[in-house]
A and B are shown apart, each in its own frame.
Chain A
Amino acid sequence: MSIETILVFGEGDEGTPSGLTLELLAAARGIATNVEVFVAGDGAAMAPELGAHGATKVHATGPLDGKLIGVHAAAALQAHLAASPPDAVFFGQTPDGRDTAARLAVRIDQPVVTNNVGASVEDGTLVVEEPVFGGTQNVFTAFKNDGPALAMFRPKSFEAEATGGGDAEVLTVDIVDPGPAGSASVTGRHVEERSGPQLDDAQVVVSGGRGLGQPEAFEMVDELADLLDAASGASRAIVDAGWVPYSKQVGQTGKVVKPNVYVACGISGATQHLVGMKGSKHIIAINKDPEAPIFGVADLGIVGDVHKVVPALIEALKSR
């Protein structure tokens, strides 16, 4: 057996595929001869960009307004896989990706391996790589099932790259009755306001942690971020404390970031935080404790008080 076709669970917003979807296309292209995309929503608008990233076909349900995506996506995918089974389905580690993969795995009784950062083919079998113990070791898992391998991947595990392919062919997938779970409906959407550079793709990220001492001190993190054209991020400690919204959380249960420069202000460097940022090209850490684990991954470590170093840095940048 070799890997012929991989189906990517495509996500996006207003006709633009997400960065993670394009990353998965690159990963799939590296090991399969044919890559297709399944979209639980309007696929036509995304088809040109998906095609440019190597997808040959886009199988789309059309708009699912007011429906809980995972429920309907899993039911539609089950029917689609029965008609034209790929060798594997790749999902992004996102709220809808997780939901869909879990439901699909049960529906088709196939194993799903989550939390991966790598994919390869060994002896004709799909092998996925998952980091464990705070990213200190990697576990390689081979699929031994008959039927599609379901694998889920973390963001920023692969580099998205356009191949210059033409538009992908758009095919309609029927929406099927998902059973009792179909009673779940989305009655409202709340989109957090976003302005300036976003955590996912900013070249520079400035993050704050509990060492800031109080919620108001996050303002200096935002100010420093502004001056560096950076996105601001946070440790879970201050997200849980309600200082900043969850969308700013970096780490195992937050976002994975890989900027050119990551600046950690008053963050200890717990492994759950490190897994979200240690892929950054350069790391600067400011912490008053010389023993703080964050210094173990920092290229430039400053043992000092954030309330002195950060304001001085802001002043110096302003006066340039």
Chain B
Amino acid sequence: MKVQRQTEAGYDDVECQTPALVSVTAGVVEPRYPSFKGIMAAKKKPVEELNLAALGVDAAAVGQGGARQETIRVTQAEERQAGEVIEDEGDAHDKIIEFLGELKIV
């Protein structure tokens, strides 16, 4: 199997043997929309339910009890205050230049 893998600088071509576990980034393909026929057919598909025992997972090792990290608090983040909002009357660019000037950007 050949994939393109995102990197900090661009992307790499990566090859590997199957079976392989592959994750993708959001937006990698346009999802296909299901047809009416497909939606009807999906309703008849069997749904298999698995419990921990079927998965061979020790109940004590999962969930809140099994977690080896703990949420100790949740706080409100500091909010950014909105500043001045003006309507462009054909001179908004002057206002922007003035703003950048105060910051010595221009």
Contact = CB atoms under 8 A, between A and B. Distances in A.
A298 B82 contact: yes
Contact of B12 (A189, A300, A315): A189
B13 A188 contact: yes
B86 A142 contact: no
B9 A185 contact: no
B21 to A, nearest CB: 9
Contacts of A96: 7-8
A127 interface: yes
Contacts of B13: 186-190
A260 B16 CA distance: 43
B74 A309 contact: no
Interface string B69-106: 11111111101101111111010111111011001011
A261 to B, nearest CB: 6
Nearest to A313: B93
A144 B25 contact: no
Interface residues of B, number: 50
Nearest to B80: A297
A95 B5 CA distance: 9
Contact of B100 (A136, A142, A261): A261
Nearest 10 CB-CB pairings of A with B? A304-B88, A301-B85, A299-B83, A145-B68, A188-B13, A184-B16, A313-B93, A312-B93, A192-B10, A190-B10
Interface of B: 2, 5-17, 20, 25-27, 67-77, 79-80, 82-88, 90, 92-97, 99-100, 103, 105-106
Given A189-B12, A246-B6, 10 more contacts: A68-B16, A145-B69, A184-B20, A186-B14, A188-B12, A189-B7, A247-B10, A300-B83, A309-B93, A309-B96
